Structure 1
Amino acid sequence: MRLIQANVSECFLYITLSHRWSESGPLLRDIEGRVIYDMPVRGVQAFCAVARELDYLWAWSDTCCIDKHSSAELQETIASMFAWYRHSALTIVYLSDIPDTGSLGNSEWFRRGWTLQELLAPQTVLFYTQNWSLYEDLTPSNHTADIAVLEELERVTGIETRFLTNFSPGWDDARSRLQWAALRHTTRPEDIAYSLFGIFNLHLPVLYGEPAENALGHLLSEIISQSGDISVLDWVGEASSFHSCLPAHITSYERLPSSQPQRHTEEQPSTTSQALSLFDILCDLAASLLLQFLSRFLTSPSTAPADRLRTLDSYAPSDVYDFHSLNRVPLP
């Protein structure tokens, strides 16, 4: 039975393609029922040729394997996309705009929203350049295990190596995950929120046509609800019409999060203690405004829990924190 299971598993190993075509790629209806090598779609043909060369029997490309005209299939696809890349034996990243002598950072692939999870989800990744050559003629079995490539990826994406080599979807370090997506963009504005569902291991409705602010608002409120992490409220920019405690655009997370507040002691008096204590007030106010979204307690950046609201009179002189940017949490 073990031998049968091993053989069957090997037969159904598949590789996935991550790409940003320089022109419109083929869709399911373009290739359905046809032999791929008889069609003028060189990118997909080259991908299939690489799959066969590497002894894989199955290859998956999103534009060719998803019926985007079916709303039900599209919903299921977005919910499953991260898992499909995670369970693939290999993900080929095709950088169509990078010549053989080019560098990763010049590719548009690193500025697209959907490709973020396509970088983080797979266990094994190989980068191919414009002419379908391995990046910099490197011949490792996994580019995300190559120290030089990892260092370059960290510079290009701002994502720490530990996440690039061993990423787990979820809510840990939520503020950083949002920052990774801050400078990325999608063709449909609401997709910038949908493309992060897998990163946070969330399953939310996909409603194409809804305002992008609403899509992002639903995502952020669910992150706070599930994790209790109000570092998500650390942003700078335009407030959302969905909720004024949330940003209107993902670009509001571009800046680094403000540093962890440090408590003043009685031996370190501050002349701005009244203003500094406003930090706790704002945190509690933000918590109260978001209670409608929450199913769990919030965690406060301070050492005091934020599972209860406190009045101004309840703040002791020592209950004061360094706070560098009072305008980071916009009031409604």
Structure 2
Amino acid sequence: MKVLVTGGMGYIGSHTCVQMLQAGLEPIIVDNLCNSKLAVLDRIEALTKVRPIFYQGDVRDQAFLDKVFSEHDIQSVIHFAGLKAVGESVAKPLEYYDNNVNGSLVLARAMRTAGVKSIVFSSSATVYGDPTSVPITEDSPVGATTNPYGRSKYIVECCFSDFYDSQPDWSITLLRYFNPVGAHPSGSMGEDPQGTPNNLMPFIAQVAVGRRDKLSVFGDDYPTPDGTGVRDYIHVMDLADGHIAALNTVGQKSGLHIYNLGTGNGSSVIEMVNAFSEASGKEIAYEICPRRPGDIAECWASTSKAEQDLGWKASRSIMEMTADTWNWQSKNPQGY
């Protein structure tokens, strides 16, 4: 099956392409390389012995997308392309709405023109906002988002939901990720953020490898066991497998399908720091800083729906997440 993968050179997209190729699927990658590197293509080829078809271009360019669809018999789309930093979204809301919302609408129009009616969308647990209770189920309230990034994902979900109501022969799958971490176990692929990392794990890894002096821990006064934020961290390889499970099951059936992808367990920032220190043998220096706008106290998933419908369950532990991250960062201290 040929699958258009937007943002396929990025962190989650690239790992998913590796798993897709090993599962016999054929990813066709579209990426504008605004937050990824061309070298990723070489790493995918080295791991899978296949060099995926790659187009450099932007999902906001419909003429470009129309060309890609016209050149391949694409059966489905996995839509990763999007800006993803909470803090940056507060500073640059218009850029986030343009890239994430407008990009998704242009893609949907190109799909409609091409007659491709199956899409798996990279959404986020941020659509739940500050949850009233945990674990979070797919029926938990959505929309009370706390930052423009989360709001952009929620708006796209609304757009796709409304579009499905008008086109019920489509298969639209919304995958709400919790906190992706980790790297390919080979150490040849991992998260390589541009500039200062916005996510916890790459920041810890860059401190451990000597690229940064210390980690900033934003807030130690949350109502959590140690005062730091609690999140559901999921290994990127488990996340990649979740996309393939969705593609192979509900991706072939008409409907609006919504799933949480997480582990069902929450870990605090300090717990992750300690786990990484153990995995790497490095002391992780950190300082406590004020809370960031838009951050919440705790957030973890109920995963029973994905287990039941997709036959998928995250299996990799916190120790595997931290060990694989360190394996990647220590082998690639400057990233790709």
Q: Whose strand fraction is larger, Structure 1's or Structure 2's?
A: 2
TM-score (norm 2): 0.28
Q: Which one has the largest radius of gyration?
A: 1
TM-score (norm 1): 0.28
